Amino acid sequence: MQPVAITAAEFAQFQKFIFEAAGITLSDAKKALVTGRLGKRLAAHGLESFGAYFKLIASGQQPQEMQTAVDLLTTNETYFFREIKHFEFMRAQALAARSRPEPYRVWSAASSSGEEAYSMAMVLADCMQTTPWEILGTDISTRMIEGARRGLFSMERGRHIPPEYLRRFCRKGTGNYDGMLLVDRSLRSKVLFRHLNLNAALPQLGLFDLVFLRNVMIYFNQDTKRDVVARVISTLKPGGYFCIGHSESLNDISSAVRMVAPSIYQKPL
């Protein structure tokens, strides 16, 4: 079957849709991505145009299909221990907090399929000893959250896991799961994953010692960046730390935190 082409007007509809749903700005260069990711949904519903598919999700008659479209347009690939310096920094901060009685709380605010949150969990399980700790992983994609909870990944995604962590915290797949790794149940039970849209008012999450919001701001326009960053920083404890992607910047975005190292910021006490 010949792939369905998307017209400029149809693409503009999806640009507006994902901006309103998630604050994400799709450039014209993403037309092939939209066509590739949503094309199978046209086939699943027996539709002959992207315009017809847009009408389906815009009608509100199938809210789950609207969420499916959001999932497909917001999914980004990640891997364990991406940008390792942030995890080294996190370890140092966690060790410094090890003697206190209250839990050390960390938020992976754009956790995608869970590799970032589980990398955090490996670090904290290794260094916190008897000090309690909590990790929250959130994402706008319900499909990503469901996958993250399973904790099953390709070995390729785990290529940067330190060998000692791989041995302690992961199980190697066999048979039908050859080439896969499973995060150990004891670690999975320590990470809470939930669906959350950063482009809307946040629910009550409590305050965090450390928040990662990495490699997502590149998809937002300047105003959306300011709004999202302000919401996320509001959940930081005074003195807490905020990490963004190494290729990102808070210039003209926020003055509520100060840089302490490249891509690492602190909220004043």
Residues designated catalytic: 37, 139
- The answer to whether the CB of 192 falls within 8 A of the CB of 105 is no
- The answer to whether the CB of 166 falls within 8 A of the CB of 158 is yes
| Bridge partners, residue 212, by sequence | 108, 243
C-alpha 215/C-alpha 208 separation (Å) is: 20
The distance in angstroms from the start CA to the end CA of the chain is 61
DSSP per residue, 27-89: -GGGHHHHHHHHHHHHHHHT-S-HHHHHHHHHTSS-HHHHHHHHHHHH-----TTSSHHHHHH
Supply the DSSP symbol for 179: T
Residue 77 exposed, middle or buried by CB count within 10 Å (0-12, 13-18, 19+): exposed
Exposed e or buried b for every residue in 166-193, given b needs 16+ CB within 10 A?
Answer: beebbeebeeeeeebbbbbeebbebbeb
